[in-house]
Amino acid sequence: MSTNHYDVLGVSRDATPDQIKKAYRRLARELHPDVAQGEGAEDRFKDVSRAYEVLSNPEKREMYDRGVDPTAPGGGAGGFGGAGFGFQDIFETFFGAGPSAGQRGPVPRARRGQDALVRLDIDLADATFGAHRDVQVDTAVLCPTCQGSCCRPGTTPRSCDVCGGRGVVQRVAQSFLGRVMTSSPCAACQGFGTVIPDPCPECSGDGRVRSRRTISVDIPAGVDTGTRIKLTGQGEVGPGGGPAGDVYLEIRERPHETFVRRGDDLHCTLPVPMTAAALGTVLELQTLDGPREVDIRPGTQPGQVILEKGLGVGRLHTGGRGDLHVHIDVQVPTQLDEEQTELLRRLAALRGEERPASRLAAAGSGVFAKLRDKLAGR
């Protein structure tokens, strides 16, 4: 076989490191003594390994390209202990990982607890101004008897006799490479490295117990249905007395009998008698901030909106408050006595409206257009 390292691997002199590595892996699988049969297979495998040792190392490859073979006697470090080659290369060739892959030490018995999701129903006033609430949660808390040690008071865990406290057991498996050492979690101690001979009688060796407790929560102004408030470290305690998880408080806002919320603004409907809308008046409106006087100007039309600034919901992130939109509902009387009917007829005669002309309003005007624009956010 040729002693030219490039010819041995079957690559050109300008081959990339990746091409060299792929060529070596292919030949190593074919020529390994446990796989290949026939005279000279072992010598060919050594030649392939020697060629890869040189060409996979940039410094040695540069020396070789200048006419110096680092694997020749006196030419530099050679064999499987050289800088560019080792047992890990062979292991990666056949298994895709180093000899330490999959090995683990003992796992800690204390682990983080799970998070909890709690839903809280609030009123519109709570969302507008913020509130303080006490929330009850059913969760896992630290065992009061063993304080998370999982052992009966006065006792301690002992090292596992099977794995010797390592948490893993090693076995020897036969493969075409020979004997291969494998590691797996110890079944006797579940990988903890220790066993509890005398578990705590209250928590049965878990380090925690179930309990109902109360959490005080400050609800900021501006929350809405679906808002989640994170309470760090208020979740359940982990097994073995591990750190607690978090509680996520999900807000659900109850519908209000008077106000409708749209973002940070509130909307309501104010009934106004026909005569008050025509003549103008001042009406009292009960808002979330208490009673407020609303000025009804003469000639107020049905569907007209009066804006009361700063009487909406608090803004969660920017501060301040939204506005209150008062929608006017002009009420036309339906039951009139004779005197009222006569007065309205005289008013119609004075305004020339006894037989009003039939005329359609222009498109885009009128109460329906205004309502449509409001719903569309225009």
Long-range contacts of 289-293 (CB under 8 A, 24+ apart): none
Higher pLDDT residue, 85 or 248? 248
Q: CA 311 to CA 205: how far, in whole Å? A: 56
Q: Check pLDDT > 80 for residue 207.
A: yes
E-only strand ranges, 91-234: 116-122, 131-142, 158-159, 168-175, 178-185, 194-195, 208-219, 228-231
Amino acid at 318: T
Please give the span between the terminal C-alpha atoms of the chain, in angstroms, as a whole number. 85
- Of 371 and 184, the one with more pLDDT: 184
Which residue is listed with tokens 């004997």? 179
pLDDT at res. 175: 62
Q: Is 146 annotated as a binding residue?
A: yes
CATH 3.40.50.720 fits 260-375, yes or no: no
* pLDDT, tens digit (0-9, with 9 covering 90-100), for 290-323: 999 999 999 999 999 999 999 999 998 888 999 9
Give Cα 284 to chain centroid, integer Å: 48
CATH T-level topology, domain 5-95: Helix Hairpins (1.10.287)
Give the angle subtended at the CA of 295 by the CAs of 294 and 300, to the nearest 5°.
115
Residue 254 predicted with pLDDT over 80:
yes
Q: Is 163 annotated as a binding residue?
A: yes
Question: Would you call 84 helix, strand, or coil by DSSP?
Answer: coil
Which residue, 205, 189, 212, is CA-closest to 146? 205
> Residue ranges of the domains in the chain?
5-95, 116-157+196-253, 260-375
Residue 361: pLDDT band (50, 70, 90) is low
CB atoms within 10 A of CB 47: 19
Q: Is the pLDDT of residue 103 over 50?
A: no
Task: Report residue 371's pLDDT band, with 50, 70 and 90 as the boundaries.
Answer: low
Given a cut of 60, whether residue 80 has pLDDT beyond it is no
What's the length of the chain? 378
High-pLDDT (> 90) share of the chain, %: 52
Residue 112 to residues 215, 238, 242: CA-CA distances in angstroms?
A: 20, 5, 5
Q: State yes or no: 151 annotated in a binding site.
A: no
Hey, what are 186's tokens? 């110890």
Let me know if the fold of 5-95 is the same as that of 260-375. no
Question: Which band of pLDDT confidence, cut at 50, 70 and 90, is reported for residue 24?
Answer: confident
CATH topology of domain 116-157+196-253: HSP40/DNAj peptide-binding domain (2.60.260)
Mean model confidence pLDDT for the chain:
83
Establish whether 268 is an annotated binding residue: no
Closest Cα to residue 221, out of 247, 194, 241, 251? 251
pLDDT digits (tens, 9 = 90+) for 118-169: 999 999 999 999 999 999 999 999 999 999 999 999 999 999 999 889 988 8
